[in-house]
Amino acid sequence: MRKLGTTIKKQTPGRAIRAQCLTCVGSAKDVPNCGGHGENPLFDYCHFFPYRMGRGRPSVKIIRKFCLQCMGDSPSLVRECKTTNCNCYSYRFGTNPSLAGKGRGRSAEAMDAIRAKKQGPIKEISSQNRLSAMR
- Residue 123: what pLDDT? 55
Q: What is the mean pLDDT of residues 98-102?
A: 71
Structural domain contains residue 33: yes
Give the domain range for residue 60: 2-103
Structural domain contains residue 64: yes
- Residue 39: what pLDDT? 56
Structural domain contains residue 42: yes
Give the C-alpha separation, 64 to 97, whole Å.
Answer: 13
Question: Among residues of the chain, what percentage have pLDDT more than 90?
Answer: 6
Structural domain contains residue 10: yes
Structural domain contains residue 55: yes
Question: Among residues of the chain, what percentage have pLDDT more than 70?
Answer: 69
Number of domains in the chain: 1
